[in-house]
Structure 1
Amino acid sequence: MANVFDYLDWRGDLTLGLVPLCDVDAVVLSRLSYLPLDGLVPPEGAPVGALMRQLLASKPPLLLPEDGRFIPALVASQRFCEMRIMDYVNQIDLESQTQFAAITVALGDGRHFVAFRGTDGTLVGWKEDFNMAFTCPVPAQRLAAHYAASAMLRFPGEFLLGGHSKGGNLAVYAAAFCPAALQERIAAVYNNDGPGFDAEVIALQGYQRICARVQTFVPQSSIVGMLLEHEEAYTIIHSTGDGFGQHNLYTWEVLRDRFVTLETVTNGSRFLDRTLKQWLAGLEPEQRERTIDTVYHMLCETNAETLHELKENRFSRALALLRSAKGLDEDTRKLLVHAAGVFFRSAGRSLKQARVPDEQES
């Protein structure tokens, strides 16, 4: 089945002047924000092709193995290689639990695409994601709104915003909470399997003004993209991955210049969506915060900084977690037991709901 790499082969020789920007292009540009461009992007920016050649020469660690195939494909693509990447930002702050990265891409047709990076595999990055369950805005959302507004003040013309995973959420937040005069220049926002927002945020004027321009895409077994609430309609894309692997953009199936779509998400996705929403509703905001903070600090006690490191030396990491658990005070232990109980009860209710025909669900 075809994917982004096939698209780059098929359409790579067709510039935006010949074939307009499409949803697959937005995914390609969103993935660009994940590449480690630290120290490579000059103040005036540089062409995508030139930067990708520098990456190939420097051989930095990449977040996904497929990125190693993605980079040379961009070098060979006439469609993307002359676009210019500018204003690369990459910030990680353990103290404020912030992980934020973004780029601005001059498309070559007078428009600019602002792409926000999703979670980068660091524990602090995932912690900030979970913070969205009880806090809005988190630091990355504030930074995204400031970054987008600064880009629009610096460059004239039409803007598109996009991102994958948390980056999709940041793109929507930035579009919703930039000044109204700048908001008018945003043609579209691409949220690629990113979480939504709570009902209070969705009801705000800024969100309502931009909502019709938000395009949300989720794979059929979406987990991340179904978190929290989405008022905008979303498109379900067929992924060739399994389970959480469908979150990987490289598994999304492409047909010429569009994604292959489906009518509904899977039963498993609906089950997890109901379970997580009921679990969050069953905990007070303070309980959510304390639960997430406790689990995060326990993981930090393993001295791992990334999920990859957490998977290494599993025995020693498990021992560190056990020692950390033993050091918890009685109230915190009770809170974790309570949170776990709420989760399993939510899962039980979701399982019962899954057995009820759709027309009987309330």
Structure 2
Amino acid sequence: MQQTYRSNIEDYLLWRGDLTFRERPFNPVDNLIFSVFAYLPLDDLVPSEAGHRGPTIKDVAEEFAKLDGVEIKRRGYSERILQHIGFFKTAAETRRFAEVRLSGFKNKFDKDVETQFAAVSFSLEDGSHYVAFRGTDATVIGWKEDFNMSFMTPVPAQKLAVEYLETAAKALRGKLRVGGHSKGGNLAVYAAAFSSWWTQRRITAVYNNDGPGFDQATIAKEGFRALQGRLFAYVPQSSIIGMLLEHSESYTIVQSTQKGIAQHDPYSWTVLGTSFVCVDTVTDTSRFIDKTLKEWLGALGPAERQRFVDALFDILEATDITSFSELSTNWFQRARSMGEAISSLDNESRTMLIKTLGLLFDTVKGNLKVLLSWELDREQLKKVTK
């Protein structure tokens, strides 16, 4: 049985924080750290134009340190954002990250065109740069855009990612690394694959940290082939998000201290030295969910997927929530609003919704037999190897 480690990116700062990027080169753990930084509320703290003269991580951390409890409450920062800020402030105290400069912060949220996008560029002292794309936040629109990926390519955030990377590449000289966590990983791969030849030749690595893939037609594009050998995907053992759709690159499986969907949390990924702690295969649960979702989506055409997603989110929007965290408040009224929204659907939409959910249920039921056979095979293997 493989040993379970508890150390994570926070421990990494203690191990590697005293060594600059000139003294010890960039590694995959650094990539995950910059991907986490992309979730920070950097509005008014980092210039919107990319360049070499932006504030340092230390400078920005000092601005965060000025926020008192009243201001934090006024801004509505979640516990998750406060965790990111605390981690960022710790990084600012290290030689490795303190003098890294930030620039080109873009943050776009548009309900009408169903877009949630943010990105920021980091300039390292070794002359290289990391372009980080933000993953999905807790907003309903952010998740709707993710669901839209099942029937639409490109979604608005993917187009914005290409534009952002091209603009950043023109402003920043030197080698480029591109990455992100969750949807941010998908945006990083898409931006790199569809960037110009001039930009693409400067990219040394693209990191997709448990982000969804693409449909087969998108992966077949020349840009993906041109990046072979420079695409790196990392998923936790029980990955769900990162297993969605198809990947052109093979993925590395990282050990996590959490279980199930909670393994998507980058703070749960285990680290040893300058590397992630890796395992040989994803869990049976991850394989089961991956198989089920792929079969379910494969049985639906793009138009059917779109109608299902639109109907599902119309029901959610009937509750007047803008963030999924709001579902836990005034739950009875929210549930009542969703019930009324379902009742108000026209017959065709309601039939489609029930039929599609029924197909998902049938797919789950069929694959439970497969999951059971995997478990039986594993038990037999244990007996043979005793």
What TM-score range do you get, normalising by the shorter chain? over 0.9
Displacement of 1:314 after TM fit? 1.2
Amino acid at match of 1:256: G
Counterpart in 2 of 1:154? Answer: 171
Counterpart in 1 of 2:347? Answer: 330
Tell me whether 1:114 sits opposite 2:123 in the alignment. no
Counterpart in 2 of 1:50? Answer: 59
Counterpart in 1 of 2:35? Answer: 30
Query: CA 1:55–1:318 in structure 2 vs 1: closer, same or farther (change >3 Å)?
Result: same
Tell me whether 1:346 sits opposite 2:363 in the alignment. yes
Displacement of 1:13 after TM fit? 1.0
Secondary structure of 1:156's match? coil
Counterpart in 1 of 2:108? Answer: 91
Distance 1:256 1:90 in 2: 33
Counterpart in 1 of 2:15? Answer: 10
Is the contact made by 1:36 and 1:62 (CA closer than 8 Å) also made in structure 2?
no
Counterpart in 1 of 2:384? Answer: none
Secondary structure of 1:80's match? coil
Distance 1:270 1:63 in 2: 31
Equivalent of residue 301 in structure 2, options 279, 284, 294:
284
Q: Which runs of 5+ in 2 are unaligned?
A: 1-5, 378-386
Equivalent of residue 98 in structure 2, options 55, 77, 81:
81
Distance 1:145 1:194 in 2: 17
Displacement of 1:219 after TM fit? 0.3
Secondary structure of 1:211's match? coil
Offset from partner CA, 1:223-266 (integer Å, 9 cap, x none): 00000001211000001012111000000011111111000000
Counterpart in 2 of 1:224? Answer: 241
Report the aligned-residue RMSD: 1.4
Is the contact made by 2:38 and 2:118 (CA closer than 8 Å) also made in structure 1?
yes
Distance 2:368 2:304 in 1: 24
Secondary structure of 1:66's match? helix
Distance 2:171 2:296 in 1: 43
Q: What is the TM-score with the length of structure 2 in the denominator?
A: 0.90
Tell me whether 1:269 sits opposite 2:274 in the alignment. no
Distance 2:184 2:350 in 1: 33
Displacement of 1:79 after TM fit? 0.6
Displacement of 1:93 after TM fit? 0.2
Secondary structure of 1:101's match? strand
Distance 2:65 2:88 in 1: 7
Tell me whether 1:174 sits opposite 2:179 in the alignment. no
Is the contact made by 2:40 and 2:85 (CA closer than 8 Å) also made in structure 1?
no
Offset from partner CA, 1:286-330 (integer Å, 9 cap, x none): 110011011111111111101111222211111110111111110
Amino acid at match of 1:50: D
Distance 2:228 2:332 in 1: 47
Distance 2:79 2:291 in 1: 30
Q: Which runs of 5+ in 1 are unaligned?
A: none
Amino acid at match of 1:116: F
Matches within 5 A, 1:194-213: 194-213=211-230
Distance 2:231 2:151 in 1: 23
Equivalent of residue 121 in structure 2, options 73, 87, 104:
104
Tell me whether 1:304 sits opposite 2:321 in the alignment. yes
Distance 1:170 1:63 in 2: 25
Deviation >4 Å, runs of 4+: none
Q: What is the TM-score with the length of structure 1 in the denominator?
A: 0.96
Displacement of 1:68 after TM fit? 4.3
Displacement of 1:218 after TM fit? 0.2
Amino acid at match of 2:201: E
Is the contact made by 1:35 and 1:62 (CA closer than 8 Å) also made in structure 2?
no
Amino acid at match of 1:336: L
Is the contact made by 1:113 and 1:160 (CA closer than 8 Å) also made in structure 2?
yes
